[in-house]
Amino acid sequence: MAPSRQPSVQGYDIVRRIGVGGMAETFVAVRKGPGGFEQRVCIKRMLSHLEETPEAGPMFLREAQVTARLRHANIVQVIDVSDDNEELSIVLELIEGIDMRSLIKVLREEGDSLEEDALSYIAQSLIAALEYAHGEGIVHRDISPSNVLLSTAGEVKLADFGIARARDLTRFSRTGTVKGKIPYMAPEYARTGECTPQSDLYSFGVTLYELATGLRPYRANSDIAVLHKAALGEHDPVAAHARISSSLAAIIECCIRPEPSERFEKAEAARRALRSLDSSTLARRSLAKRVKAILARAEEAAPVSSPGAALRGGTAVVSPAEQQGPSVRPAGPDEVTRTSVHHPPAPQRDVATDRSDVQPDLPRPAKIPWVWLGVIALIALCTVAFLTLR
């Protein structure tokens, strides 16, 4: 979807558009100050056709209000909110890196897996963000690989609090409305529409399972079938597909149990369990190295002048998935953060009907050209005739 117009935000110079999603589009911008000061940021603007929708404006502002309350190293930060020219915009920090979905995609394509210390480091970073948010009375409600950002410095950031609910704020969705990605949605959330901190822990567990194995624990051909399997807890143990310690496997399995009472009571309990695991001090450096390698490959595959190019020097960085086409979703609370921007990989990976996790494509047998079939038939006839004449 093309933007109807470029946003105009006082104090910021728009550089280029990053992406567009269902509710907003995002742009790289520069904030200038005295003495040559410059800061690159991400500006998220509500789509123009939604501006006349009564609920859209308050929902958009509420997202900013919720996220702005959160000040944590592992959460994307809101810098400013603007309503210049009656256009609602959120200014976010910009992250140079990729999202977890891109990492999982590359690992799967290369038949590789993440080292356990890096996996543990990512898990501890995310659970720290969740513990903090839950302590502030905010439930994320949409944790998935697309909303986990990995920077070239090895930072791990949780993004997209766009459908989060603060206990002391009006609910964003109407009663009974469920928002989020089905494969990562806790059974009780899908069933009742009520999301709790333990529901976030479920999504956190499914995300870790996929990072460790390249697969989702509950896979089927329809959303209903996925939810049915999740409600029954029918899945392969994570240890069946990943070479990880029994301790880490037990933590992941505890998070994805169907009943909330069977999971960790709080994010704090999960964090304590994760802290008991050995995590190398080089884990962050190892993760940063992988992120840089993925971005370098993306730069080689796309010229800088193209929409899928990665720009150097702390500007926007695009994941390899964007090169598949212009249809990308926004970064920022939709999915972004600090010194650069990411774009999520193929959007269809976020739906339960994605069958690539269910049945991989198998090589087809080579086809024999018709002309060769004719030659073979002719040789066979000549052979029969020769033997008959003898």
CATH number of the domain that 122 lies in?
A: 1.10.510.10
pLDDT at residue 31 is higher than 90: no
- 390 vs 362: which has the higher pLDDT: 390
pLDDT at residue 346 is higher than 60: no
Instruction: Please tell me the predicted confidence (pLDDT) of residue 327.
Output: 29
pLDDT at residue 3 is higher than 60: no
The CA distance from 239 to 320, in Å, is 29
- 290 vs 84: which has the higher pLDDT: 290
The CA distance from 240 to 268, in Å, is 27
- What is the Cα gyration radius of the chain? 24
pLDDT at residue 96 is higher than 70: yes
- Residue 334 and residue 162 in contact, taking contact as beta carbons nearer than 8 Å: yes
Instruction: Please tell me the predicted confidence (pLDDT) of residue 377.
Output: 66
In a domain? residue 361: no
63-77, 227-241, 284-298: least confident range:
63-77
In a domain? residue 280: yes
pLDDT at residue 193 is higher than 90: no
In a domain? residue 234: yes
The CA distance from 359 to 140, in Å, is 31
Domain count, the chain: 1
Burial group, residue 247, by CB count within 10 angstroms (0-12, 13-18, 19+): middle
Instruction: Give the CA count within 13 Å in the CB-facing half-sphere of 51.
Output: 15
| Residue spans of beta strands (DSSP E) within 156-230 | 156-158, 165-166
What are the structure tokens assigned to 249, written together? 């496997």
Instruction: Please tell me the predicted confidence (pLDDT) of residue 7.
Output: 66
Instruction: Give the CA count within 13 Å in the CB-facing half-sphere of 62.
Output: 18
Instruction: Please tell me the predicted confidence (pLDDT) of residue 161.
Output: 82
What's the whole-number average pLDDT of the chain? 76
- Residue 144 and residue 184 in contact, taking contact as beta carbons nearer than 8 Å: yes
- 66 vs 70: which has the higher pLDDT: 70
pLDDT at residue 209 is higher than 90: yes
In a domain? residue 8: no
Beta-carbon contacts of residue 260 (< 8 Å; ≥ 6 apart): 186, 188, 196, 198, 199, 202
What are the structure tokens assigned to 238, written together? 């994570």
Q: Tell me the range of 247-261, 266-280, 312-326 where mean pLDDT is highest.
A: 247-261
What's the whole-number mean pLDDT along residues 158-164? 80
**Residue 83 annotated as catalytic:** no
- 299 vs 240: which has the higher pLDDT: 240
Sheet holding 156-158: strands in order across?
A: 97-99, 148-151, 156-158
What's the whole-number mean pLDDT along residues 30-38? 81
Q: Where does the pLDDT of residue 169 fall: very low under 50, low under 70, confident under 90, or very high at 90 and above?
A: very low
In a domain? residue 9: no
Share of residues in the chain with pLDDT > 70 (%): 68
What's the whole-number mean pLDDT along residues 274-287? 86
Q: Among the options 99, 142, 160, 350, which is catalytic?
A: 142
133-142, 177-186, 283-292: least confident range:
177-186
Q: What's the sign of the alpha-carbon dihedral 347, 125, 316, 213?
A: negative
Burial group, residue 17, by CB count within 10 angstroms (0-12, 13-18, 19+): buried
- 82 vs 313: which has the higher pLDDT: 82
- 254 vs 383: which has the higher pLDDT: 254
What's the whole-number mean pLDDT along residues 349-372? 37
In a domain? residue 149: yes
In a domain? residue 337: no
pLDDT at residue 348 is higher than 80: no
Containing structural domain, residue 209: 97-284
pTM over 0.85: no
Q: Where does the pLDDT of residue 149 fall: very low under 50, low under 70, confident under 90, or very high at 90 and above?
A: very high
What are the structure tokens assigned to 44, written together? 């998220």
In a domain? residue 6: no
What's the whole-number mean pLDDT along residues 139-150? 93
Q: Where does the pLDDT of residue 45 fall: very low under 50, low under 70, confident under 90, or very high at 90 and above?
A: confident
Q: What's the sign of the alpha-carbon dihedral 50, 52, 58, 64?
A: positive
> 50 — phi, psi (to 5°)?
-95, -10
